[in-house]
Amino acid sequence: MTRKSLPKAIRPTNVKLVQAVVGAVTDDDHSTARAANEAIETEWAQHLSSTVPANDADVSMSSNFQKMTAKRRVLAGRIVEQNGTLAALSGLAPLPAVNIAGVAAIILRMLKQLSGLYQVHFERDRTRSFVIGVLGGAAPTGLAAATVSTIGLVAPVPAFLGLAISALTAAAVTRAIGEVFIESFERQAPLG
Partner 1 sequence: MVGTIITVATMKGGSGKSTVASCLAVHWHLRGRQPTLVDADPQLSIMRLAGRERALGGVAVIEDATDEAANTARRLAASGSLVIIDTPGFRSRTALDCLAAADFVLVPVKPSPLDVDRMLDTLGSLSNRPGGQRSLVRCVLTQTTRDSVIARHIRDELTAAGLPVLNSEMVNRVAYPEAMLWGATPSLISWKGPAAREIAAMADELDVVLGAQQAAA
Footprint on this chain of partner 1 (rule: CB under 8 A) = 3-4, 6, 8-11, 14, 17-18, 20-27, 29, 33-40, 44, 47, 51, 61-62, 64-65, 67-68, 71-72, 75, 113, 115-117, 119-122
In the bound state with partner 1, the residue whose beta carbon lies nearer, of 116 and 133, is 116
CB of 32 to partner 1, least distance (A): 11
CB of 179 to partner 1, least distance (A): 20
In the bound state with partner 1, the residue whose beta carbon lies nearer, of 24 and 97, is 24
- 119 — alpha (psi -120 to 50), left (phi > 0) or beta? left
CB of 64 to partner 1, least distance (A): 5
CB of 171 to partner 1, least distance (A): 21
Mapping DSSP to helix (H, G, I), strand (E, B) and coil, where does residue 130 land? helix
Q: What angle do CA 82, 83, 85 make, to 5 degrees?
A: 70
In the bound state with partner 1, the residue whose beta carbon lies nearer, of 4 and 97, is 4
Tell me the DSSP string of 133-167.
HHHHHTHHHHHHHHHHHHHHHHSSTTHHHHHHHHH
CB of 50 to partner 1, least distance (A): 11
CA distances from 37 to 40, 50, 68, 133 (A): 5, 19, 22, 29
Task: Of 78, 84, 99, give the one whose Cα is nearest residue 150.
Answer: 99
In the bound state with partner 1, the residue whose beta carbon lies nearer, of 53 and 137, is 53
Cβ contact 43:33 at 8 Å = no
In the bound state with partner 1, the residue whose beta carbon lies nearer, of 34 and 172, is 34
Distance, in Å, from the CA atom of 73 to the CA atom of 173, rounded to the nearest integer, reads: 20
In the bound state with partner 1, the residue whose beta carbon lies nearer, of 77 and 158, is 77
Task: Of 92, 79, 68, 66, give the one whose Cα is nearest residue 166.
Answer: 92
CB of 27 to partner 1, least distance (A): 6
